[in-house]
Chain A
Amino acid sequence: MEGPVLFYNGTEFEAMFHLPDPTSTKRAVLLVALLLMSGSAFAADPIEEKAKICTACHGETGVPQLKTTPVIWGQNEGYLFLQLRDLQSGARKNELMSPIAATLAKEDLLPLAGYFSKLKWPNLQQPEAPKDVAAKAQSAAASVGCPGCHLHHFQGDGSTARLAGQQREYLQKTMVDFRNRTRGNNPGMSDLMNATSSDDLTALAEYLAGLQIDQYLGSEHR
Chain B
Amino acid sequence: MSSWKMTGALVGALALSFAGWTLAQAEPKGAPASAVTQEQLNAAAKDENNFLHTNGNYDQTRYFPGKQINTSNVGKLHPAWIFQTEVKESMETTPIVVNGVMYVTTSFDHVYALNAKTGEEYWHYKHAMGPVTTYCCGPNNRGVAVYDDKVYLATLDAKLVALDAKTGSVVWQTEIADPTLGYSETMAPTAVDGKILIGTNGGEYGIRGFVKAYDAKTGKLVWTFDTSPENSVGVWATTDATGKDLHRDIAAEKAQLTKTGDPYKTVGGGVWQNPSIDLATKRIYFVVGNPSPDLDGSVRPGDNLYTESLVSVDLDTGKYVCHFQYIPHDLWDLDDTSPTVLVNAKDKDGNVVPAVIHGGKTGHVYVNSRKDCSLIRFSEPMVSQEGMYTLPTAEGARMLPGANGGVEWSPMAVNPELGLTYAVNLHQPMTYQVQSSPYPGGKLWLGGAFKVIATEASFGNVTAVDYNTGKIKWQVKTPLPMMGGPLTTAGGLMFTGEGDGWFRAYDAATGKVLWSFFAGAGVNAPPASYAIDGKQYIVVGAGGNTQIDFKRGNNIIAFTTD
Query: Which residues of A pack against B, CB within 8 Å?
Result: 77-78, 81-82, 91, 110, 113-114, 139, 142-145, 147-149, 151-152, 155, 157-159, 181, 185-192, 194-195, 215-222
- Does B300 sit within 8 A of A, measured CB to CB? no
Interface string of B438-457 (1 = CB under 8 A from A): 10110111111101111000
Residue pair B547, A189 in contact (C-beta under 8 Å): no
B99 is an interface residue with CB less than 8 A from chain A: no
Contact partners of B443 in chain A: CB under 8 A: 185-188
Question: Do A220 and B4 contact each other (CB < 8 Å), given the known contacts A77-B131, A158-B129, A186-B444?
Answer: yes
A157 and B139 within 8 A (CB): yes
Selecting from B5-13, B40-48, B326-334, B366-374, the interface stretch reads: B5-13
Chain B residue nearest in CB terms to A192: B449
A50 to B129, CA, bound (A): 25
Q: Which residue of A lies closest to B439 (CB)?
A: A187
**Additional pairs, 17, CB under 8 Å, beyond known A158-B129, A191-B437:** A81-B131, A142-B549, A143-B452, A143-B454, A148-B137, A152-B549, A152-B552, A158-B1, A158-B135, A181-B437, A185-B443, A187-B443, A188-B204, A191-B433, A192-B449, A215-B7, A218-B3
CB proximity to A under 8 Å, residues B1-37: 1-8
Assess the A148–B138 pair: CB atoms within 8 A: yes
| Interchain CA distance A190-B4 in the complex, whole Å | 30
Known A-B contacts A78-B132, A188-B204, A195-B433; A144 and B449 likewise in contact (beta carbons under 8 Å)? yes
* Interfacial chain A residues near B180, Cβ < 8 Å: 82
| Contacts across chains A and B counted by CB atoms under 8 Å | 124
**Residue on B nearest A113 in the bound complex, by CB:** B131
Q: Which one, A157, A159, A195, contacts B1 given CB within 8 A?
A: A157
CA distance A81 to B133 in the complex (A): 12
The tally of residues in B whose CB lies under 8 Å from a CB in A reads 49
* Contact of A188 with B446 in the complex, beta carbons under 8 Å: yes
B:380-437 near A, CB below 8 Å: 396, 433, 435, 437
A78-B131, A81-B131, A157-B1 known; A145-B440 Cβ under 8 A? no
Q: How far is the CA of A6 from the CA of B112 in the complex (A)?
A: 50
Q: What residues of chain B lie closer than 8 Å to A217, measured between beta carbons?
A: 4
Of the candidates A91, A152, A159, which one forms a contact with B132 in the assembled complex, judged by CB atoms under 8 Å apart?
Answer: A159
Q: Are B138 and A187 in contact (CB under 8 A)?
A: no
Main secondary structure of the interface of B (DSSP, over half): loop
B68 contacts the other chain (CB 8 A): no
Task: Give chain A's interface secondary structure class.
Answer: helix
Give the residue name and chain of the A residue nearest to B133 (CB).
A158
With a CB–CB cut-off of 8 A, which chain B residues contact A194?
A: 433, 435, 449
- In Å, the complex CA distance between A142 and B204 comes to 19
What separation, in Å, do the CA atoms of A220 and B441 have in the docked complex?
32
- Alpha-carbon separation in the docked complex, A67 to B314 (Å): 58
Query: Separation in Å of the B88 CB from the closest CB of chain A?
Result: 9
B92 located at the interface, meaning its Cβ lies under 8 Å from any Cβ of chain A in the complex: no
Residue among B129, B437, B548 with most chain A CB within 10 A = B437
Contact between B444 and A195, CB atoms less than 8 A apart: no
